[in-house]
Amino acid sequence: MESNLPGLKLILYHIFDGNYQEALDRLSSYESEAIDSQFLFVPKAQLYAQIYGLIGNQQLEKEYYESARRILEAKVREQMEDARFHSSLGIVYAGLDRKKEAIREGKLGVQLLPISKDAWRGLYREKDLAQIYVMVGEFDAAIEKIEHLLSIPGEMSIPLLQLDPAWDPLRNHPRFKKLIEQGK
């Protein structure tokens, strides 16, 4: 499986910078239909949905989440044991306001590939579950996941939390504010 994470990182750079149009332009020139690596599987449609959500275009956001849902549900049917598909499907369900299904899929992703089984790839499942919790308004559960991820070696960091707009709904939460302040 060839990693195409560098392409995702460039798109994320533009998202973190708030340059959503450039992120959309980069994504549209991206040849693959998904970011597919050992760590994650994210359909382009899911990224489009997330960017359009940041821009505030709810119609395109929902259309792209629906497209991503169809792709991911098919992937889950084909490879039920692949935690990446469940995690991404959980994020997509959260984007479609399907809270119960979102949490179920996110938890299943963590259960299929826990940190205790794979210390590196399991981190991605935990981060995805934290993102799902944020998207469905379960802020305390999200912060618990974030605190855990910050307490172990991995990519989660205070600067990343400050840059990534996925965590914006937490910005005014007292526990999140305290977490950010303690990490400075």
Cβ burial of 100 (10 Å; 0-12, 13-18, 19+) is exposed
* CATH of residue 40: 1.25.40.10
The whole-model pTM stands at 0.94
Q: Could you tell me the sign of the dihedral formed by the alpha carbons of 112, 116, 120, 123, in that order?
A: positive
Inter-residue contact 68 to 37 (CB < 8 Å): no
Answer for the pair 78, 102: CB distance below 8 angstroms, yes or no. Answer: no
| pLDDT at residue 7 greater than cutoff 80 | no
Q: pLDDT digit string (tens) for 93-119?
A: 999 999 999 999 999 999 999 999 999
Tokens 């960017």 identify what position? 51
What is the pLDDT, as a whole number, of residue 176? 97
Count of domains observed in the chain:
1
- Domain of residue 133, residue span: 5-183
pLDDT-derived band of residue 1, with 50, 70 and 90 as boundaries? Answer: very low
